[in-house]
Amino acid sequence: MQDSCGVTCHYQRACGRGISVDRVDLSSLRNSCVAAISEYGHASKVFRVVDLLSNEVLFGGFCATREGTGVPYCGGGRDIALLAERDAAFATALK
């Protein structure tokens, strides 16, 4: 599937991590393409919004898939909240 920036979105498995480019769109504000990315691994979930031309991370959040690791736990809806924050950051980048 190709988006408006000509990026082919795909799901990739590397080093035990699943990487998903969830959305890509043109940001007229930044004069660039931005992507909403999710990474799922054995120990964590990572959510990012990235400017694809500058590689600047506009939003980044993560949580641990297991309790007691010293990193905020994904349970209790934390991963869903991070996903919503990531989506809001993506929408803001498109304005």
**Residue 1 domain-assigned (yes or no):** no
Q: Give the chain's domain count.
A: 1
**Residue 3 domain-assigned (yes or no):** no
pLDDT tens string 45-90: 999 999 999 999 999 999 998 888 888 999 999 999 999 999 999 9
**Residue 57 domain-assigned (yes or no):** yes
pTM beyond 0.85: the answer is no
The whole-number pLDDT of residue 78 equals 94
pLDDT of 9 over the 90 cut = no
Q: What's the gap between Cα 42 and its chain centre?
A: 17
Q: What percent of the chain has pLDDT over 70?
A: 82
**Residue 2 domain-assigned (yes or no):** no
Range of the domain at 39: 11-94
**Residue 6 domain-assigned (yes or no):** no
Arithmetic mean of pLDDT over the chain: 85
- Side-chain-facing half-sphere of 14: CA atoms under 13 Å: 6
Q: What's the gap between Cα 63 and its chain centre?
A: 13
